[in-house]
Amino acid sequence: MPRVRELELFRLTLPYGRRPESILVRITDYGGMVGWGEAVRPPAARPGERRDEREDGQEKLWASLEESLPAALIGVDWEHPSELGRIPGGSAADMACWDLWARMKGVPLAHALGGSRTSLMATVRLGAERSLEGMVARVNRHVCAGYAHVTMDVHPGWDVEPLRAVRAAYPGLAIAVDGRGAYTEISQLQALDAYGLVAIERPFTDLAASADLQERVAAAVVVEARSVEELDEAVAARAGRGLLLRPARFGSLSSVRLAHDTAVAAGWDVTCAGGLGVGLARAATVAVASLPGCTLPSDVAEPPRSAQIVTPPVGASGGVVAVPLTQPGLGHKIDEEKVRRLAKDAFRA
C-alpha cells in the first residue's frame, strides 16, 4: 500500500525556445520508492492568453501545490491512484502517484493504464511558413527522417495553396490539418477534403458547425475535449469522428482513460498530443497513446535533448515512438542532479 512520507516540488524555466515553464512533483513512500509528475505551462496556453495571465496561472498552481498537496498526500493510505480523487494541483501530482504505484507494482505505466501497443506512429505538427517552397522543404525534411504522417496548421488565407503544394510533392503522404478553431465558414474547410486528408482537427469552436462539416467531408473531424463532460457533449452533438486527447489538460489519468473509453464506445478514433516539458508529461502521453483506441498518429514533439531530464529521451525516431516496457512506471530514469540545477524554486514537505 503506497504511503507518501516526503514531497518535493521543483519549478523550472526551460532553456530552449520560448522558455515554457515546468513544475515537477517528486513523492517518496516509506519504503523509499519515488514517483514523478510534471505540469507544463506553455508559452501560449490558449489563443489570446496574455503573458501576465500565463504567469499568474503558474503562480497560482505553485501556491496551490505548496499549500494543499502535503495535507492531501503525506501519510495518506491508498491502494490505487483512482482512490485519491481530484488531487490539489491537478495532473502533475496525479501523474506522480501513478508513477509511484506502477513502480511499486513493477509494471510500466502503459500497462497500468491498459495500453497494449509497443510503438506508436508519430505525426509532426507544422506551422505556417513564409512561402510554399519553405513548407514543402520542411515536409521533405521530416519525410526523409522517416515520418509517414504530418499535421499542417491551417487558417483562412493559409490552407488550400500549401496543402495543394504538399500533396503535389507527396501524393502518398498521410496528411491531417489543424484549424485551431480559426474557421467560421464550412465551405473553406470542405474544399480541403479534396486533397485526401486523414483528419481535420479543431475546425471550429462551435460543435454544431463541426457536426455539419463532418456530414460533408470524408476526413474525420477531430474535436478537442478538456474533460469527459465536454466529450459527452461533443459525442451527443455528433461533432466528429475523432478525439484530440491531451492528458495534461485533464485532472487525472483516470479521467483520461475514461475519456478514451467514452470515445471508443462512440466509435471515434483518438489521437494523443503533448510535446512540451522536460520529458515526464511527454512520457505519460506516450503511455496513454498506447491504449487500444488511440489509432491516429500521436503528436509527441521532441525538443532539444539538452532540455530533457529523462533517459532515454522521449520522442520519435524514424517517425515511430517506442513505448517503454522494460522499466516500471514512466519507464525513464530521472536526472535529479539536472532537476535541482535547473530549478528556480523548490519546496519540500
pLDDT in tens, 259-285: 999 999 999 999 999 867 889 999 999
What does the pLDDT look like over 83-126, one tens digit per residue?
A: 988 888 778 999 999 999 999 999 999 999 999 999 999 999 99
Helix (H, G, I), strand (E, B) or coil at 193: helix
DSSP letter string over 277-304?
SSSHHHHHHHHHHTSTT--SPBB-----
The CA–CA distances, whole Å, from 334 to 26, 43, 213 equal 11, 24, 45
4-44 per-position pLDDT tens digit: 999 999 998 766 655 568 899 999 999 999 999 998 875 44
Going 307 to 309 to 312 to 316, the CA torsion angle's sign is negative
Distance of CA 119 to the CA centre of its chain: 16
